[in-house]
Amino acid sequence: MQGKRLALASLLIFALSATAKDSEKVTSPPPTALPVLKLKSQIQVQLDGVLNRFNYREFVYLATLDPAGKPINLLLLEGNTLFVSETSDALRKQSFDPKYANHQVIIAGSVAPDPAPLRGTPVVIVLQNPEHPTPADEEILKAEREHESQVEPCTPSMDKDDLVRHGFHYESRNRVEAFRCFEIALSKRPDSIAALDGASRTCGQEREVDCRRSYLVQIAALRPDFYEARERLALAHHTPEEQDLVVADLRKLLAEDPAPPVQCAILNQLIFVAQRAGDIQNEVIYRTQASEIMRKYFALYPSKFGLYSRIEIVFNDDSLALLLEGTHQWADAEVIYRRNIAMSDVDPLFEKEEKFDNQLGLARTLVAQGKDKDAAHMCSKWKIPARFVANGGEVSVGLENAPVEIAKWDVSCGNEQEGLARLQKEAAAHPSDRAAYIALRDYYYAHGDVKNALKAEEHNDLASGDTRP
C-alpha cells in the first residue's frame, strides 16, 4: 500500500481549498420528504404519574391519512414508547386537512405535563396554544407546582400518586428517601409503572443490578411495549463476562421489529459491545442496519439534528467505511465515502474536517482498487489545505491541529510511514489531546489492525474522561 501511495505523489495536481461559495450553501431537504402536520394542542395522558419524570415529551409519527383525513397505520419515529398506545389512540381521533387524504404524512406533537392530582381515566386537555396555556390550565399547573414544592417525608398514609411524585422529587436529592417513597407506593399498588420505574433507578447502590433487574422484570411483564425499560433490563447484567447475555437479550428485542428509534437505540448498544470486543464482523452488520434505518426515515422526515439527520448518518457511516476498508471491502467503503461527501457538501453544519477525512478515505479505497488517477485528484485537493483544516465548527469541537492533519494526509496520500511516525509522536507529546489518538485509531481500523485501534481508543477515552468498562 505504501508504494502505491508514494507513486501517487508524482500524479498530484494542486487544487484550491473550498471556496466562500461552498460555505454559503443552504441545507435543503430531500425531494422525498413528507409534509409535517403539527398538532395545535398537547395530548394529556394519565399513565400513573410517570409523566412527571420525562422532560422530553415530544413525539413524531409516520402515518397515512384515510379518506376522512384521520390517521391510520401509525409508526413512531420519535418519542418514548411508554406513550405509544395513549398517543396513538388520541391521534386516531384527530382530523387533518383532507388534501392529504390517502397520502403519507408526518404528525408531530407533544404530551402535556401531568396536572396533579388527575386520577382515574385518561383525558385530553385541549390548549389553544401549547406555549401559552389558558388561565384555567395555568391555575392547574400552578397548583401542581405548589403542591410539589411542599414536599414532606413519605408516609403510608399518603396517596399513591403523591408518593410517586414525592419519589421523583427526591430522586436527584436523596436516593434512599426516593426509593422508600416508591416502595410505599408499590405496597398500595404493586402494578404502578411509575413506582416500579422509579424503584428500578433508586434501589440500593448503582452497581446492585439484581435490585434494579427485579423491578425491570415486572415492568417488562406489565408493559412489554415499554422498550426503553426492556432495553435497560437487557443491559442489567452483572459482569463483563455476561456480555453474551446482553447481546442475546438485545437481539431478541431487535427481532420483535420495534419502532425505528428503538431499533437504533438497541443497535447502538450492540455496536458499543462489538466495538469494545473487537468484533468487526458484527459491528459492520449493526452499523449497516443502523445506517439503513436512519437513511430510510431521513428521506421521509429529515431533521437538522437528531436521529434522522445527515450528521447522525455520516457519523455512523464514518466508522462503517473504516471497518469495511480494514476488511478489504474497498468497493463498499468507496460507496459510503462518496455518500458521506455528498451529504457534507449540501449541509453547512459540516466543517472541512469531515470532508477532509472522507475524501482521504475515498482516495485510499480508490488506490486499493487500482484507480490511481482518481485518487491523485482527490489527494491533490488537500495537500496544501491540510495545513489549514483545523478551523473548528458546529459539528466538531476543535479536536484538530495542524501537525495531525498533515500526518493524516501523509498516511493516506504521501509517505505513510512518516505520517504514522508523526501521529505517534504527537500522541506521546500531547497525551491529553484527543486528535492524534482519533487519527491513530482510524488509521489502524482502516488497516484492519483492531488490537492497536482499541489501544488508541482506550487512550482517547482517557483523554476525554470516558472511563466506561
pLDDT tens-place string over residues 232-245:
999 887 566 788 89
Segment 313-349, tens digit of pLDDT: 999 999 999 999 999 999 999 999 999 999 999 888 8
Phi and psi (nearest 5°) for 58? -70, 150
Q: What pLDDT is recorded for position 350?
A: 87
Label residue 401 left, alpha or beta by phi (over 0 means left) and psi (-120 to 50 means alpha): beta
Q: What are phi and psi of 464, to 5 degrees?
A: -90, -5
Compute the average pLDDT of residues 200-207: 74
**Which amino acid, residue 70?**
K
What torsion, rounded to 10 degrees, do the Cα atoms 44, 47, 53, 57 define? -40
313 and 298 in contact (C-beta within 8 Å)? yes
Choose among 137, 169, 136, 131: nearest CA to 153. 169
Query: Above 80 in pLDDT, residue 202?
Result: yes
408-430 average pLDDT score: 94
Task: Answer for the pair 411, 8: CB distance below 8 angstroms, yes or no.
Answer: no
Query: How do strand 36-38 and strand 104-110 relate by DSSP bridges?
Result: parallel
CA distance linking residue 375 with residue 364, whole number of Å: 7
Average pLDDT value for residue range 193-204: 88
> Amino acid letter at 249?
D
Backbone angles phi, psi at 297, to 5 degrees: -90, -20
Residue 78 · residue 60 · CB < 8 Å = yes
How far apart CA 177 and CA 348 sit, in angstroms, is 49
pLDDT of residue 163: 87
pLDDT tens string 138-173: 776 666 566 555 557 889 998 888 888 888 878 877
Residues forming beta bridges with residue 104, ordered by sequence position = 64
Q: Cα 264 from chain centroid?
A: 7
pLDDT class of 14 with cuts at 50, 70, 90: very low
Neighbours of 93 (CB within 10 A): 9
Q: What mean pLDDT do residues 279-295 have?
A: 98
Confidence of residue 4 (pLDDT cuts 50, 70, 90): very low
Choice between 441 and 204, residue whose per-residue pLDDT is larger: 441
pLDDT digits (tens, 9 = 90+) for 395-404: 333 335 788 9
Question: Per the structure block, which three cell numbers stand in for 28?
Answer: 435543503
pLDDT for the residue 180: 93
* Residue 68, pLDDT above cutoff 60: yes
For each of the domains in the chain, give its residue range(s) and CATH number, in order of start: 2-27+288-464 (no CATH), 36-130 (3.30.2420), 151-223 (1.25.40)
* 352-387 pLDDT, tens digit each: 888 899 999 999 999 999 999 999 999 988 876 655
**Who's near 42: CB < 8 A, 6+ residues apart?**
109, 110, 111, 112, 125, 127, 130
Q: Supply the mean pLDDT for the chain.
A: 82
Three-class SS of the chain: CHHHHHHHHCCCCCCCCCCHHHHCCCCCCCCCCCCEEECCCCECCCHHHHHHHCCCCEEEEEEEECCCCCEEEEEEEECCHHHHHHHHHHHHCCCCCHHHCCCEEEEEEEECCCCCCCCCCCCCCCCCCCCCCCHHHHHHHHHHHHHHHCCCCCCCCCCHHHHHHHHHHHHCCCHHHHHHHHHHHHHHCCCCHHHHHHHHHHCCCCCCHHHHHHHHHHHHHHCCCCHHHHHHHHHCCCCHHHHHHHHHHHHHHHHCCCCHHHHHHHHHHHHHHHHHHCCHHHHHHHHHHHHHHHHHHHCCCCECCCCCEHHHHHHHHHHHHHHHHHCCCHHHHHHHHHHHHHHHHHCCCCCHHHHHHHHHHHHHHHHHCCCHHHHHHHHHCCCCHHHHCCCCCCCCCCCCCHHHHHHHHHHHHCCHHHHHHHHHHHHHHCCCCHHHHHHHHHHHHHCCCHHHHHHHHHHHHHHHCCCCC
Whole-number pLDDT of residue 315: 95
Residue in the block written with cell 449540501: 346
Identify whether 117 is preceded by a cis peptide bond (ω within 30 of 0). yes
Q: What residues contact residue 389 under an 8 Å CB cut-off, 6+ apart?
A: 352, 353, 356, 382, 400, 405
- What are the grid coordinates assigned to 376, written together? 491523485
Rounded distance between C-alpha atoms, residue 275 and residue 409, angstroms: 26
The predicted model gives 278-294 an average pLDDT of 98
Q: What is the per-residue pLDDT for 117? A: 43
**pLDDT tens track for 15-41:** 223 333 333 344 678 889 999 999 988
pLDDT at 301 over 90: yes
